[in-house]
Structures are given as C-alpha cells and as structure tokens.
C-alpha cells in the first residue's frame, strides 16, 4: 500500500480558498496518491510553518497572504521570479533544501496562452501596483511583452513595480486606451454584484475600452465582474481571473510532481465550488 503524501496551503484566512478543491481534483483525476489540506497560520508564524513542513515531511506548500514575503525570506533558496519579487507562493523540495517559487504571474501568462493570447510584443496596461500586479508585471516582462504601463493611484508604488521589468513604465488612462491587453490587478470590483455596480466599483472608465482589446480581471468573485461586462459591451474580449488561479496551481503541481495536471478538471472543480457558494 502506497503512503499518501500531503501538500498544504498556509495563510490567514484560508476558509474560503479554492486551492484545496482545485488541487485535490487534479490529484484524484491523475490517480496521484496525494492529499491537500489548508492550515490557517497567523501572521508572523511562517518560520514555524516551514519547520512543520520539515518535521512532518509535507510534500509541498502553497503560500498565500500574509506569508508570501516571510516565506521567501525563510526558505533555503528562491527561483528567479521569487527572488525578484521577494515573495513566493510555492515551496518545494530539492534534496534537503526548501525552494521558494512564484507561479502567480506565470499563471496569468499560461492562462492567456491557453486562450490563444500570446503576450510577446504586445502593449499591456496593468491597473494596480500591489502584490498581484507585481507578479504580473514580472511575468509579462519575462514573457516578452513589448511594453507595460502601470496605472496606479500612487505613482511611487507604480514606479517601484516598474523596476521589475525593463519594458515597464508608469502609465495613465491614455495607456489603457492604447493597450492591446488591459489587466485589472487591483481588488476593485471584488464581491460586487454587476447589476448594482457603481462607477467607483470599476477599475477604470469603461469608455477607454476598444473592440480590439483583451481585458483581463484578476478578480474571480463574481466570475463575470461589472468591469468585464462593460468590456464585453464595448466589443473587447473579456478574460476572467479564474484562469490565473487555475494555472498558478497547475504550475505548482508541475513543480511538486514534475507532471502537468489536467487544468480542465481543475477549472471544473473551481466553477462548481463557486456556484455552490
């Protein structure tokens, strides 16, 4: 009888996370003898969580807020993206070493690629300059985006995020209108019913949209945000945020298992979980 291995999510709060559903569905579909758990770990206890990983022999960790920066500082080494971001969402083993990786931004690039959207050479506008935006900017730069314009209410934070990619610069509303791809990497619109959304619930003025654009919202609750609905009305191609969540998890499993999981199974499990809420 094979011994089941355990991977887990650490963060706080974690009770509404889709990660357990997504990962377990992929493990089960591939008949991999792994289980996935979620542990609510209070801020400031990342070191203890990594110690538990070593002691218990956990096979891998997913990391969410508020631990991404602390875990990056505590692992034995980092991959290139995690080192640039000083943040990681994944911990894996390499011999006796714990390796921190960042798959968030790469998850977005992979999600777009699955939909036939190649970001290489494109003009991208990113709204926001927080953790999600930084991971996206880093990944877009690595994927060969032609230009990245970062639009944020605080120019200083935008300028800091721009240092992650040579082609990034602080942008404004005009850059949103000119972009091939527009990404909302802020939390604006999260949990807002599209039927009752107000202008303040939109990351930008939808009058800026162009029919030829790809408009991506990293928010996935609701799946069709008010902003994406406006993009569709303008004739733009709307891409929801669930794809990034699925693909960053798929990349985690690829690191842990050296095999690519079935992202269709993962998406179906996530959609069913969201519909049940």
pLDDT in tens, 184-226: 999 887 877 877 778 888 999 999 999 999 999 999 988 999 9
Residue 2 has a pLDDT of: 62
* Segment 134-175, tens digit of pLDDT: 999 999 999 999 999 999 999 999 999 999 999 999 999 999
Q: Which domains does the chain have, with CATH numbers?
A: 5-102+243-275 (3.40.50.10860), 106-240 (3.40.50.720)
Residue 277 has a pLDDT of: 83
DSSP H/E element including 268: helix 263-275
Section 243-269 average pLDDT: 97
User: For this structure, is 68 an active site residue?
Assistant: yes
Please provide residue 81's backbone torsions phi and psi, each rounded to the nearest 5 degrees. -65, -45
Active-site pick, 23, 67, 68, 267 = 68
Q: Give pTM, 2 decimals.
A: 0.94
Number of Cβ atoms within 10 Å of the Cβ of 167: 16
Residue 158 has a pLDDT of: 97
Q: Under a CB-based contact definition with an 8 Å cutoff, are residues 125 and 179 in contact?
A: yes
pLDDT reading at 1 higher than 60: no
DSSP H/E element including 264: helix 263-275
**Contacts of residue 202, Cβ cutoff 8 Å, sequence gap at least 6:** 188, 189, 226, 227, 230
């Amino acid at each position: 009888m094979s011994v089941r291995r355990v991977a887990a999510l650490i963060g706080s709060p974690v009770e509404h996370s889709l990660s357990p559903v997504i990962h377990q569905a992929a493990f089960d579909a591939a008949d991999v003898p792994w289980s996935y758990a979620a542990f609510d770990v209070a801020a400031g206890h990342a070191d203890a969580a990594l110690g538990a990983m070593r002691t218990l022999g956990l096979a891998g960790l997913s990391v969410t807020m508020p631990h991404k920066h602390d875990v990056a500082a505590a692992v034995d080494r980092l991959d290139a993206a995690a080192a640039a971001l000083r943040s990681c969402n994944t911990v894996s083993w390499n011999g006796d070493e714990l390796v921190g990786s960042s798959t968030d931004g790469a998850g977005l690039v992979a999600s777009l690629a699955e939909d036939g959207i190649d970001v290489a050479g494109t003009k991208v506008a990113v709204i926001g300059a927080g953790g999600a935006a930084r991971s996206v900017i880093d990944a877009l730069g690595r994927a060969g985006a032609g230009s990245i314009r970062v639009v944020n209410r605080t120019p200083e934070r935008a300028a800091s995020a721009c240092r992650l990619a040579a082609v990034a610069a602080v942008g404004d509303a005009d850059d949103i209108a000119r972009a091939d791809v527009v990404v909302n990497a802020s939390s604006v619109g999260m949990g807002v019913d599209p039927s009752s959304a107000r202008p303040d619930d939109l990351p930008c003025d939808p009058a800026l949209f162009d029919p030829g654009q790809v408009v991506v919202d990293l928010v996935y609750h609701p799946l069709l945000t008010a902003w994406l609905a406006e993009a569709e009305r303008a004739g733009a191609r709307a891409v929801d945020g669930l794809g990034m969540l699925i693909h960053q998890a798929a990349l985690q499993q690829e690191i842990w298992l050296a095999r690519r999981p079935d992202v269709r199974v993962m998406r179906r499990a996530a959609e069913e979980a969201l519909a049940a809420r």
